[in-house]
Structure 1
């Protein structure tokens, strides 16, 4: 199995802010993103987030001229860049203690809570220009025909941050997480108890089971057959619910489904990328994007159908 250009997916339903279809064009999206281009952190700025081209470089090789949204096979691709200053807590604490000693020597009394808070803010402000920075990017994929947005985020919090950034940049855009009539936990419980996956899917050899009682005990299986009496006993009589389950779709795409309907650890059959992997630059990007979105555009509705369809908003 080879990694897709998307490692994880959190899926959102797109609509207009008043419930109608969102009418934006590719040019509209580009114009909105352009107003929030990524700018590195200023010396005393702890965090900066903004949009960068989804390609590494533009067609003419000049940085900064590539579009912020790319259309490949009708699928719109974007990338959010997040830069953060790294300040170890021990370093901040040490600087605060130094400032507190100086304040005590000058006034003859220890700083109170309010002054201690001000000293911490002063310490952070002084240290930020010296701090290292770390960058992380988040890939977003918008399917305008299906009215779906997929965010490649390993956590719900990071996905929500990217979704919020996109909504702020686009007039009239509303997003809500896709929810299904049958919860993933209930569906995974049935698949493990019955030893049978839904049509088009197979259960692989990894899962996590968690009890719902106060003990919150967890059982994890890795590289282990799941069609066993032990596993069935855990979900049928042991009071444990699946929170993660490894699956494969049509023998081509493997992933881990979570109880919150996140799709993680995506990988595909090596043969799917053989043709595109030999190409570099823009051709390689287009080939990988077309293959990845082409397969996942089919997997997502199949998975939603396996969970009894999408739940309409109340």
Structure 2
């Protein structure tokens, strides 16, 4: 339940559906396992636990959801092992080498015959909509995976005008300042990890880990490189890494926070999971809001 990497999207207008409407919308696009000939399938699942059969979990001003994705696993070595004899046989029949197009057609036909026998691999991605800040927070570090989830939400809800929560140009300006220990988000200090990349064709990169970022050997790279990601640490809370692609990664919560509800135990599963969700989302929202406000404010001053 503790989000580790997130993509955040700002909505152009608030979502006003009630919980019953959301539950119905998600149920219409619920997860169903892949059929024999399908390579991949996604659908809504239960955000709290498989035993708590609720597609939309409402908590104060947030509603939580989850998307389950299943894909068939066909190792390339297996495909190639069965494909080569088919290529050789057809080439012998034709009396000539096969074209690339013909080989691709054989490969696609073979994949369709192998899919019913392939293993399945499933993953669950959680997210929440926060009506107070009007943003979506999706628990994934990959932009492509997040876009797939947005597409499913658009199908279920009819529309979803969502954009990345930070302007990339403004974010890049802030990343440079943060490494210089300037204009940091409220309550944050620099961490000990940073990556920089030169903006020229060669794109020389440098990475510092567990390093004092104020050191001269780090700061000199600002002369010819741009910060692509930097670790930040709340003085009394979580730590995270902000990337220039709008991703928030490597989120770590303090032990005092994650262990706060240990006394509740797990006898009432719904109560425990809901309590942990509340702590996680409150803590994460506080950090996200500080970053958003700093980037927007810094951007106005540039």
Is the shorter-chain TM-score for this pair beyond 0.5, marking a shared fold?
A: yes
Per the normalisation by structure 2, the TM-score is 0.91
Residues 191-236 of structure 1, C-alpha deviations (whole Å, 9 max, x = no match): 222467343111011111111112211111111111111111111x
Task: State how far apart, in whole Å, the 1-side matches of 2:160 and 2:181 are.
Answer: 41
Q: Does 1:293 align with 2:281?
A: yes
Q: Does 1:271 align with 2:230?
A: no
Residues 243-272 of structure 1, C-alpha deviations (whole Å, 9 max, x = no match): 111111242011001112211111111111
Q: Does 1:184 align with 2:177?
A: no
Bigger proportion of residues as helix: 2
Task: State how far apart, in whole Å, the 1-side matches of 2:144 and 2:44 are.
Answer: 18
Corresponding residue for residue 2 of structure 2: 5
Corresponding residue for residue 207 of structure 1: 194
- CA contact 1:183–1:259 (8 Å) conserved in 2: no
Among candidates 162, 185, 192, match of residue 175 of structure 1: 162
- CA contact 1:205–1:226 (8 Å) conserved in 2: yes
The DSSP-based 3-state class of the residue aligned with 1:308 is: helix
Corresponding residue for residue 45 of structure 1: 38
Flag the 1:198–1:296 CA change in 2: closer, same or farther, 3 A. closer
Flag the 1:113–1:260 CA change in 2: closer, same or farther, 3 A. closer
Among candidates 246, 253, 257, match of residue 238 of structure 2: 253
Corresponding residue for residue 23 of structure 2: 30
- CA contact 1:253–1:268 (8 Å) conserved in 2: yes
Task: State how far apart, in whole Å, the 1-side matches of 2:97 and 2:151 are.
Answer: 43
The Cα of 1:143 is off from its aligned counterpart by 0.7
Q: Does 1:92 align with 2:79?
A: yes
- CA contact 1:206–1:221 (8 Å) conserved in 2: yes
The Cα of 1:156 is off from its aligned counterpart by 1.0
RMSD of Structure 2 on Structure 1 (CA)? 2.2
Residues 34-93 of structure 1, C-alpha deviations (whole Å, 9 max, x = no match): 11111111122110111110122335xxxxxx1111012332111111111111122212
Residues 251-303 of structure 1, C-alpha deviations (whole Å, 9 max, x = no match): 20110011122111111111112232342222221111000111122221211
- CA contact 2:183–2:298 (8 Å) conserved in 1: no
- CA contact 1:54–1:139 (8 Å) conserved in 2: yes
* Displaced runs of 4 or more, over 6 A: none
Greater Cα shift, 192-201 or 125-134: 192-201
Flag the 1:228–1:196 CA change in 2: closer, same or farther, 3 A. farther
Corresponding residue for residue 63 of structure 1: none
Q: Where does the alignment leave 5 or more consecutive residues of structure 1 unmatched?
A: 60-65
Q: Does 1:164 align with 2:151?
A: yes
Flag the 1:282–1:107 CA change in 2: closer, same or farther, 3 A. same
The DSSP-based 3-state class of the residue aligned with 1:50 is: strand
Task: State how far apart, in whole Å, the 2-side matches of 1:250 and 1:163 are.
Answer: 33
